[in-house]
Chain A
Amino acid sequence: DIQMTQSPSTLSASVGDRVTITCRASQRISTWLAWYQQKPGQAPKLLIYKASTLESGVPSRFSGSGSGTEFSLTVSSLLPDDFATYYCQEYNSYSFGQGTKLEIK
């Protein structure tokens, strides 16, 4: 099984900040990585797939990068709607990271 490790587990930030969440795979996965946003009581929402491809309708302030074992999700300028939990998922064995809760500072 491929293990996915996200960091940090919790991130405190303010509206307007630029933030980055990282995801590390225990094995090389090329660019087979997706990022999701989940708000309380809601299903996850796809943000990015193939490590850096923005899903249709997702704001351009979200971006993804990386390949192999190291990946990142960046939000260029936080809006109030962005405070949520974010998960990465690798697409070889479908494992999810443990999640990063982005909270208001």
Chain B
Amino acid sequence: QVQLQESGPGLVKPSQTLSLVCTVSGGPIRSHYWSWIRQPPGKGLEWIGNVFYRGNTNYNPSLKSRVTLSVDTSRDHFSLKLSSVTASDTAVYYCARDTGDALDYWGPGILVAVSS
């Protein structure tokens, strides 16, 4: 059973960089694309981007200038960096396995607040 777990700071100051890691267990990371999705409190889902184990990436155009995704196959994890954050980046951030048809396994999510 594939499991994903997000980790990182729960509080980030405005203008700084939000950094999260998603650790994959129960299945190979070298097999799929891996996505990040976020959900502001009380709102809908927004796809951030995805990364393949070879480093290929795709980004949401609305966030592309601020997002960097990477993967570390030696540690079975992939990462999200979102720069120049503002209060509007406050959200629950999810990682998920991307089959190319859908997001079939999700982490439980991590709430990241942007506040001074």
The chain A residues found within 8 Å of chain B, CB to CB, are 1, 32, 34, 36, 38, 42-46, 49-50, 53, 55, 87, 89, 91, 94-99
Contact = CB atoms under 8 A, between A and B. Distances in A.
Given A43-B108, A43-B109, A34 B44 contact: no
B61 interface: yes
B15 interface: no
A34 B103 contact: yes
Interface of B: 35, 44-47, 50, 58, 60-61, 94, 96, 99-104, 106-109
Contact of A32 (B61, B96, B101, B109): B101
A43 B105 CA distance: 9
Nearest to B46: A96
19 contacts: A1-B61, A34-B101, A42-B108, A43-B94, A43-B96, A43-B106, A43-B108, A43-B109, A44-B106, A46-B103, A46-B104, A49-B99, A49-B104, A55-B102, A87-B45, A89-B102, A94-B47, A94-B60, A96-B46
Contacts, number: 55
A59 to B, nearest CB: 17
A46 B104 CA distance: 6
- Would you list the 6 A-B pairs with minimal beta carbon distance, nearest first? A49-B102, A34-B102, A43-B106, A94-B47, A96-B45, A49-B101
Given A43-B108, A44-B103, A50-B102, 10 more contacts: A34-B103, A38-B45, A43-B96, A43-B109, A49-B102, A53-B101, A91-B101, A94-B50, A95-B47, A96-B47
Nearest to B105: A46
A44 B39 CA distance: 11
A46 B96 CA distance: 11
Nearest to A31: B101
